[in-house]
Chains A and B, each alone.
Chain A
Amino acid sequence: MSLPVLEVKDLTVEYATARGPVHAATGVTFTLAEGDSMGLVGESGCGKTTVALSLMRVLADNATIVRGHVWLDGVDLTELPEPVMAKQRWSKISMVFQAAMNSLDPVHRVSDQIVEAIEFHEDVSRADAFARARSLFGAVGLDENMLRRYPHEYSGGMRQRAVIAMALACNPRVIVADEPTTALDVLVQDRILDQLREIQARLRMAMIYISHDVAVIAEVTSTVGVMYAGRIVEKGPTRDVFVTPIHPYTEALLGSVPSARGPKKPLRTLAGDPPDLISLPPGCPFAPRCPNALERCRVEDPPMVGSEGHWALCWNPVRPVEPVSPAAPVKTLTMTRE
């Protein structure tokens, strides 16, 4: 069993708006060990990107981490002063953003951008930094002649590879990939997913893979958290969650995804729209759309059911499961590290 690298506990984030606070993430809790790849899946506005931005501490100005902690190798990132956090970013935890074009500076050569990132974090010579950039390009399948080019000379897929190379530049412990292939064609996506998986396994990094695409999550992650209205409503090994979902939302979400393979099953549809995160209903936020909703779902917060490894927050799950004993899943973290 590998040591936990990243431990997130009760992470709760709000955005201040004119209409009131937006409850973008509520009570998000998970642990990631070396070499783990965890997916966060959900629809737009479910809070998955907010979680990513909080881990990196690059939230928008109107956002606040109201509660909760993020321990990276035992250091609480939420309490670090910004200059210290800046050193952690990219060297300990790095992120691949959805819009690759926006993560590259259009007026600088890609090589300069990667070298600059390496030099900021490590005491290395320019030549060494450049050599590392070159080997990173090899790792992500880019021709090293592209290094000295500008971002506009790259295609969409190449840009995304360059951004992945940059995220890997300082050998981070954790990489957060936020919809890294969403804007790409399937054949390009296929290759980037392959490389990402291969690199992640080889470097034993922990990866958080964020996507709305259930099929991609099925392929690249070993555990998955399903998010709805800012909460992780179900979490477990990817295979278990897909084969035996507990939460009605998970079941509906998985059932509504068309597949190009296997028997052509009828698609589920789900009525209604995701809730307004400013005025959330009491009780379970999914209750208004839930085919299984009971009276109490609209009143009381749902309990954690299932097992420690695979649980959901639900009063009336889609299959019979035991309640999880209150102390079990959200373990207090061991803070001792040498």
Chain B
Amino acid sequence: MTIAATTTASQQPVIHPGAESGSSAPALVVEDLRKYYPVGGALFRKATSFIHAVDGVSFQVARGESLGLVGESGCGKTTTAKMLVKLIEPTDGKIVVRDRHEQMVDLATLGGRDTKLFRRSAQMIYQDPYESLNPRRTVFDTIAEPLVVQGIGSLHDRESRVGRMMSQVGLTPIGNYMFRFPHELSGGQRQRVAIARALILEPTLVVADEPTSMLDVSVRSNIMQLMLDMRERLNATFVYITHDVAVARYMCDRIAVMYLGKIIEIGRTEDILEHPIHPYTRALISAVPVPDPGFVRPKVDIKGGIARPVDPPKRCRFYDRCPLASKVCEDNDHPPLTPRDGDRLVACYNA
């Protein structure tokens, strides 16, 4: 049954709070991932400074699990996402993905042909459905394109696969939408097309970069529900990029909070929301407005604004803004992620 068809007065459609992931074998392993961008270089002058967009990020995601990368603009979450699907090459570090044949593939070793095959296993969903769809292609052309590129199926097969996919993402009746162009669709419908395109190859890894942040609230919950359904259906591993911890709460089993290229706290979503440990996580969660006029949020107690990580000093990235900053933080390198209660990791000397 499609999402769109389920709205009636008697059975109110709902998103059920996160079904917990079962399997534990890692489907994505990221080790010490780095991406530095040179700044200040010129034609015959080598750049001497670097923006440390992503600076030593490590995490694992199990098959069927959903990990949220959460943080403010400039924290490196989108750069990380693009490296996961090999849209940009890391400066250093390792990404290993379990592909559709259950092989662990090291992205750095992939050549051109293998990269193309890898794309059957890993797909990305983008933020803005107004920009991610080609305005001259019909819905059918857009959704079928991955099949065409990968040379899968005859035209007839593709038609039926696209049709099935469209009904799964709620673009029904199919005949109504198949030959429409993006400008004839609403924002929510466009994002459904983008999701259908990403999922038609039945990828095992889906990286979604703020897929609902451009959508209106009432449409957003539909798309969130759709992504949860599709994740379950494909048993795919999801990496979900978002600045909105409230959305992450519904979409992610675990979240990793990023600050200036570093993961500063990672753990189960509910644990972190209920009991954030790192002072930045605490501030981030306190700063989120709550849709309840009676709720009084705790004061946010960090100072200053986010800086550009150009050749950052070795000490903790959060030092300048941190309410807990002390001599230890100044004298030592950026703190390593260390285990706290349960399966939580926190990068802080003082929290």
Contact = CB atoms under 8 A, between A and B. Distances in A.
Contact of B243 (A186, A191, A271, A291): A186
Contacts of B270: 264
Interface string B263-284: 0000000100100000000011
B16 interface: yes
A258 B14 CA distance: 12
Contact of B14 (A186, A214, A216, A266): A266
B152 interface: no
Contacts of B217: 43, 212, 214, 253, 256-257
A186 B15 contact: no
B292 A262 contact: yes
Contacts of A243: 293-294
Contact of B289 (A219, A270, A292): A219
Interface string B288-312: 1111111101001010011000000
B221 A256 contact: yes
A125 interface: no
Contact of A259 (B72, B220, B283, B292): B292
B250 A273 contact: no
Contacts of B3: 269, 271
Most buried by B among A187, A253, A260, A271: A260
Interface string A166-200: 00000000000000000001111111010000000
Contacts of A239: 293-294
A186 B315 CA distance: 25
Chain A, interface size category, equals 35 or more
Interface in A258-310: 258-262, 264-274, 289, 291-292
A155 interface: yes
Interface residues of B, number: 55
A185 B13 CA distance: 31
Nearest to A224: B293
Contact of A186 (B7, B186, B224, B288): B288
B306 to A, nearest CB: 7
Interface string A199-236: 00000000000001111101100000000000000000
Nearest to B247: A258
Nearest to B14: A266
A238 B293 contact: yes
B283 A187 contact: yes
A122 to B, nearest CB: 33
Given A256-B220, A273-B186, A218 B290 contact: yes
Contacts of A212: 216-217
Contacts of B14: 266-269
Contacts of B284: 186-187
A291 B9 contact: yes
A6 B249 CA distance: 40
A185 B4 CA distance: 32
Given A43-B216, A267-B14, A267-B224, A257 B287 contact: no
A44 interface: yes
A9 B12 CA distance: 36
A157 interface: yes
Contacts of B224: 258, 267
B218 A252 contact: yes
A242 interface: yes
A99 interface: no
Nearest to A228: B218
A269 B7 contact: yes
B290 A264 contact: no
Nearest to B291: A215
Contacts of B305: 155, 157, 187-188
B219 interface: yes
A270 B305 CA distance: 37
B154 interface: no
Nearest to B75: A185
A260 B246 contact: yes
Contact of B292 (A218, A266, A273, A274): A218
Most buried by A among B7, B247, B291: B291
Contacts of B8: 291
Nearest to A290: B9
A268 B12 contact: yes
Contact of B7 (A193, A267, A270): A270
B17 interface: yes
A269 B290 contact: no
Nearest to A214: B291
Nearest to A220: B289
B256 interface: no
A254 interface: yes
B13 to A, nearest CB: 5
B12 A261 contact: no
A242 B291 contact: yes
A266 B15 contact: yes
18 contacts: A43-B216, A43-B219, A187-B283, A187-B306, A188-B305, A191-B300, A212-B217, A215-B289, A218-B291, A256-B217, A260-B285, A260-B290, A266-B16, A267-B224, A269-B221, A270-B218, A271-B5, A273-B188
Which A-B residue pairs are the 3 nearest by beta carbons?
A266-B14, A215-B289, A271-B7
Interface of B: 3-9, 12-17, 72-73, 186-189, 216-222, 224-225, 243-247, 249-250, 270, 273, 283-295, 297, 300, 302, 305-306
Interface of A: 43-44, 155, 157, 185-191, 193, 212-216, 218-219, 238-239, 242-243, 252-254, 256-262, 264-274, 289, 291-292
